[in-house]
Amino acid sequence: MANDATVRRIAVIGAGPAGFYAAEHLLKQSEPPIAVDMFDRLPTPYGLVRAGVAPDHEKIKNVTRVFDKTAEREGFRFFGNVDFGTDITIDDVKQHYHQVYFSTGAQVDRSLGIEGEELPRSHSATEFVAWYNGHPDFRDLEFDLSQERVAVIGVGNVAVDVARILCRTTEELRKTDIADHALEQLAESRVREIVMIGRRGPAQAAFTLPEIKELGHMEDAGISVMGKDMELDEHSRAQLEKNPDRLTTKKLEVMQGYVGGTNPQASRQCIIRFLLSPIALHMTDDGGVGSMTLMENRLEPGRGSRLSAVPTGNTMTLSCGLVFRSVGYHGVALSDIPFREDWGTVPNDRGRVTRDDGSHMVGVYVGGWIKRGPTGIIGTNKPDAIETATCMLEDLASGASFTPSADDMAKTLRKRGIDFVTFDDWKILDALETENGLAQGRPRVKFTRVQDMLSALG
Ligand SMILES: Cc1cc2nc3c(=O)[nH]c(=O)nc-3n(C[C@H](O)[C@H](O)[C@H](O)COP(=O)(O)OP(=O)(O)OC[C@H]3O[C@@H](n4cnc5c(N)ncnc54)[C@H](O)[C@@H]3O)c2cc1C
Ligand SMILES: NC(=O)c1ccc[n+]([C@@H]2O[C@H](COP(=O)([O-])OP(=O)(O)OC[C@H]3O[C@@H](n4cnc5c(N)ncnc54)[C@H](OP(=O)(O)O)[C@@H]3O)[C@@H](O)[C@H]2O)c1
């Protein structure tokens, strides 16, 4: 199909949800016939569904079956282990394709910008999550789980994932597809207390209802919220009275139920604190983080309807030997593609990439987290990807595209000696992982090194 002159060839860079949802929409069209080559820097597809979604959230990962259906469509090819920017460039793309769609996600963490942030034992949640999920770039990181108290900065769903994984028993984790190296080290964990810290109040907590409820149902861990933290300030109360919001009210009810603790006898305790911002991390005698200074906040009306955290001037010290900063992800600039460093996204107009002067870059599109920033669940990427794919189809119809001249990209990659992984290859790896998992009563045992994956494929 790739050589048929009527076929419009599209490169999708990034095999996460946004990549697959766009590929599905494009491949469903018959006029013009479309071929999609999907690239990922990892040999494995699915982006954060494999490397982000928590191991104990097995059911969520079933969405990969939907992506597999897309991969079965005529005209779809996968090129894993191919990095845009290193192995292929925008010039390669222009020579081989009519259009390119970037769905490279948000690959790094946002920083806090406070003193001591870079101390040993202060990590981003991004690193920890990628480590326990077996992302090859992170598998050799080390986390000192001999520390008894851990602070998690931020109260979003990623912070909840981190806290929950630290609270789970080895037996709970052993049933999941958590990476073997993480399972071994978490089994030796001496962590007893996890303090999650929100800079605003309970009514502004970013975690969602199922996630906060789940913290109350762990085998050998309790959860608690301080009664004084649950007293709503006048602005939050006024907002909820003016615009009743069922989900926020429900979340507040659930947290109210955590006041005093759910299971004080449990081996591990998760404590959620509100209206506190870390302003400095401090070194202890061994050179690693040993404590942090927290500023107490109050809420004041900010931009639009947002209530902002304003420092009161009162501070407190929290001793903690390990810190995970979970204050959001951040996109990474792509070679020769415009980028907004402050937002960590590629500037775009409904997915069409725009230059500084607002003009469209012909043939270049974005979808998912690199388009709109690091928010939203897997499903949020579907309408987002369809919006971009619809623009792509309109542009193809009007002739706004590259005019490719070169041969098949597979030949170009082979000529360059790039050891790419096809979707059939991935299916072999997938079968090996699930087979190994079956033997241990686990969903899969993940490959965590690229070299091991390539060796397994011979
Ligand atoms: C820790 C965590 C847990 C989450 N858990 C859930 C959950 O339980 N349920 C839920 O609904 N949502 C969850 N989400 C949200 C969901 O994962 C995201 O909405 C979604 O993955 C974003 O999709 P994306 O395709 O934009 O990016 P990603 O999923 O990040 O995919 C981007 C892909 O691009 C590839 N890539 C990057 N740079 C390059 C390059 N230069 N060349 C080639 N390839 C490249 C990456 O390897 C990756 O495969 C979670 C998010 C995080 C961070
Ligand atoms: N189970 C799931 O469905 C699941 C699991 C994981 C992730 N996700 C999704 O993935 C997306 C990303 O999740 P996320 O948790 O990384 O991001 P998030 O939902 O945006 O939460 C970020 C948290 O960090 C806080 N924060 C930001 N800057 C801060 C600072 N300077 N100091 C202190 N706190 C700061 C935010 O507080 P403010 O509110 O005050 O800004 C918020 O509590 C979300 O849409 C999430 O729902 C879903």
Q: pLDDT digit string (tens) for 304-342?
A: 889 999 999 999 999 999 999 999 999 999 999 999 999
Q: Quick one: average pLDDT of 411-437?
A: 97
Residue type, 362: V
Q: How far is the CA of 104 from the centre of ligand 1 (A)?
A: 8
Q: pLDDT digit string (tens) for 51-72?
A: 999 999 999 999 999 999 999 9
CA angle at 338 for the pair 334 and 339, rounded to the nearest 5°: 75
Buried b (16+ CB within 10 A) or exposed e, 46-58: bbbbbbbbbbbee
Q: pLDDT digit string (tens) for 183-241?
A: 999 999 999 999 999 999 999 999 999 999 999 999 999 999 999 999 999 999 999 99
Q: Give the residue among 28, 79, 3, 72 at the shortest CA–CA distance from 392.
A: 28
Domain residue limits, the chain:
8-107+331-421, 110-329
Give dist(CA 276, CA 168) in Å, integer. Answer: 26
Question: Which CATH architecture describes the domain 110-329?
Answer: 3-Layer(bba) Sandwich (3.50)
Question: Which CATH architecture describes the domain 8-107+331-421?
Answer: 3-Layer(aba) Sandwich (3.40)
pLDDT band at 407 (very low <50, low <70, confident <90, very high): confident
10 lines ligand 1 (CB under 6 A): no
Beta strands in 110-257 (DSSP E): 122-124, 149-153, 193-197, 221-225
110-329: same fold as 8-107+331-421? no
48 lines ligand 1 (CB under 6 A): yes
Q: Which residue has a Cα nearest atom 27 of ligand 1? A: 105
pLDDT band at 377 (very low <50, low <70, confident <90, very high): very high
The reported pTM is 0.97
Query: By the 8 A CB rule, do 46 and 410 touch?
Result: no
Residue type, 350: R
105 lines ligand 1 (CB under 6 A): yes
Token pair 């669940």 is found at 377
Give dist(CA 437, CA 434) in Å, integer. Answer: 5
Instruction: Give the model's pLDDT for residue 4.
Output: 74
How confident is the prediction for the chain on average, in pLDDT? 97
CA separation, residue 304 to residues 9, 301, 383, 400 (Å): 43, 8, 25, 38
In the sheet with 322-325, reading across from the earlier edge strand, the strands are: 122-124, 322-325, 149-153, 193-197, 268-273, 221-225
Count Cα neighbours of 287 within 13 Å in the Cβ-side half-sphere.
1
Query: By the 8 A CB rule, do 150 and 166 touch?
Result: yes
Instruction: Give the model's pLDDT for residue 5.
Output: 79
Q: pLDDT digit string (tens) for 240-267?
A: 999 999 999 999 999 999 999 999 999 9
Instruction: Give the model's pLDDT for residue 3.
Output: 56
DSSP 358: S
pLDDT band at 2 (very low <50, low <70, confident <90, very high): very low
Q: How far is the CA of 140 from the centre of ligand 1 (A)?
A: 21
Q: Give the residue among 234, 146, 138, 239 at the shortest CA–CA distance from 188.
A: 146
Q: Quick one: average pLDDT of 122-140?
A: 98
Ligand nearest to the CA of 204: 2
Q: Which residues line ligand 2 (CB under 6 A)?
A: 112, 153-159, 161, 198-200, 204, 206, 211, 277, 326-329, 374-377
420 lines ligand 1 (CB under 6 A): no
Q: How far is the CA of 385 from the centre of ligand 2 (A)?
A: 22
